[in-house]
Amino acid sequence: MNKKKKNLYLIWISFIVALGGFLFGYDTGVIGGTQLYFTEYFSLSASQQGLAVSSALYGALAGAIIAGYLSNQFSRKYTLLLSAFLFSISAWGSGIADSLTVLVLYRIIGGLGVGIASMTAPMYIAEIAPAKQRGFLVSLYQLAVVFGFFIVFLVTYFIGGGDTSEGSSETLKQIHHYNVTKGWRNMFWSELIPSASFFALLLTVPFSPRWLMIKNRKEDAGKVLTRLIGSEQEVQKEIIEIRKSLSENKKQGYALLFAKGMGFVLFLGIMLSVFQQITGINAILYYGAEIFSNALGYGPEDALKQQLWLGTVNLIFTFVAIFTVDKWGRKPLLIMGTIGMFVGLSVLGLSIYLQQMGVISLIAILVFIGSFALSLGPVVWVLLSEIFPNNIRSIAMSIAVAAQWLFNGIVAYSFPVINKSNINTEDFNGSLSYFLFAAMCIATILFVWKFVPETKGKSLEQIEMFWKKKA
């Protein structure tokens, strides 16, 4: 296999594994359209609505925690196959739910799949990617996430009735009745197609060479690396570096987390995960239809149309990040993008506080989404997949990603509660959440500027040596 074919093979394998991100985006994004209707169907209170939306996130928290053990014990590949199976069960079960309890149960199952995939997929890609392409290839995972969001917004838009701007009041009433009684179920069932495809394609991918080395399967690791990176000389060099990394870290599992310098690396990963969530991205994505419907004055079906803007901008700027992360570096993108997020949230909050909603509010949301897609979206996943040493990567990353899902769930649950609180409606005119998120953006910028190193162009083993020297 010549170098061009090997590169195409590497991209193809990365693409298949990144479909875990597509399902992550699809599964978490489907709630944005469905919650408008199942909230009415089940007559949910604000707290119950928050539970229905956030339940998958607590499943994702559990999935991220167990993913470290599963991916170490049974391989990254088999762990991803489990996530694909869980996605399918959740999609089917959510569509047949006849009560809030049943819906929450199947959303938790889907969340397990999301949590497992969100930890395992970017880690697998980082472990097969050459240093110079790692930022690009791991960013494919985030691209798949936002593409999943975009596709599910498109699917829910058309299932929800498509363009209803010219419809009569009677037609709109019929469409809304259909969506409340049946439409949201079809939205959930639509996930069965990509989840089954993900499972089938995963059967064709190889085991991670670094996992094979951890399991002392040097010959198998060499075969995989030969198919991925090129000459025999390059393969042997890679194997020597991996073996050296593993031999220098004789402690295994959680014990290594407390080795010299590793505590700070874990702290860094956890805080990056937390900041990715508390700056508000998933509140906007999960409740985007409701924000457009209530805060900005769009009708429910038309709000689904506005969500397409969110998905489109998210997709476009993720492409920008993919093609700049290995050129500009991780740190500049993080700082520049988070500044843009702060500006977007501040303008959105002011427009709502002053009750001057309209085009400027929509532009502010899109600036926020685009800035996130350029920075905290893809770059955090790149950093999480590369900053941890080989021996503890699966365990440390599972802890960091679990923190991400914990705070994702907290934000998703608290957003509707804060939005409908007296202090928000009476003192802030509905803008409090956006000002809180903007304040978190300032904290993120300061943290990144002070603590996050640049990892552009370094091998995983070189990054590991950097932490040891720093300690």
Rg (CA), the chain: 22
CA–CA distance, 471 with 468 (Å, rounded to integer): 5
| Degrees to nearest 5, angle at CA 409 with 110 and 188 | 30
What is the pLDDT averaged over residues 377-385? 91
* 6-55 confidence digits (pLDDT tens): 888 889 999 999 999 999 889 877 887 788 789 889 998 878 887 888 78
The two tokens of residue 194 are: 């990509």
* 141-195 confidence digits (pLDDT tens): 888 988 888 888 788 878 877 666 666 778 878 888 888 899 999 999 999 999 9
CA–CA distance, 266 with 154 (Å, rounded to integer): 38
Is the pTM above the cut of 0.75?
yes
Mean pLDDT of the chain: 86
* 291-310 confidence digits (pLDDT tens): 666 555 555 555 556 667 77
Instruction: Tell me the H-state helices in 296-329.
Output: 300-322
Fold of 3-205+249-470: Growth Hormone; Chain: A; (1.20.1250)
Neighbour tally for 236: CB within 10 Å: 12
Judged against a pLDDT cut of 90, whether residue 410 lies above it is answered with no
- State residue 259's pLDDT score: 65
Angstrom CA distances, 84 to 114, 334, 452, stand at 9, 31, 33
* 259-291 confidence digits (pLDDT tens): 666 788 899 999 999 999 999 987 887 676 666
Judged against a pLDDT cut of 80, whether residue 348 lies above it is answered with yes
- State residue 446's pLDDT score: 97
> What's the per-residue H, E or C state across 326-395?
CCCCHHHHHHHHHHHHHHHHHHHHHHHHCCCCCHHHHHHHHHHHHHHHHCCCHHHHHHHHHCCCHHHHHH
Q: In this structure, are residues 362 and 308 in contact, taking their beta carbons and an 8 Å threshold?
A: no
CA–CA distance, 100 with 34 (Å, rounded to integer): 13
Q: If 0-12 CB within 10 Å is exposed, 13-18 middle and 19+ buried, where does residue 216 land?
A: exposed
CA–CA distance, 33 with 52 (Å, rounded to integer): 13
* 64-74 confidence digits (pLDDT tens): 899 988 998 89
Q: Kindly state the helix (H) or strand (E) to which residue 23 belongs, with its residue range.
A: helix 3-41
Judged against a pLDDT cut of 90, whether residue 243 lies above it is answered with no
DSSP assignment string, 259-290: STTHHHHHHHHHHHHHHHHHTTHHHHHHSHHH
- State residue 86's pLDDT score: 96
Q: In this structure, are residues 27 and 198 in contact, taking their beta carbons and an 8 Å threshold?
A: no
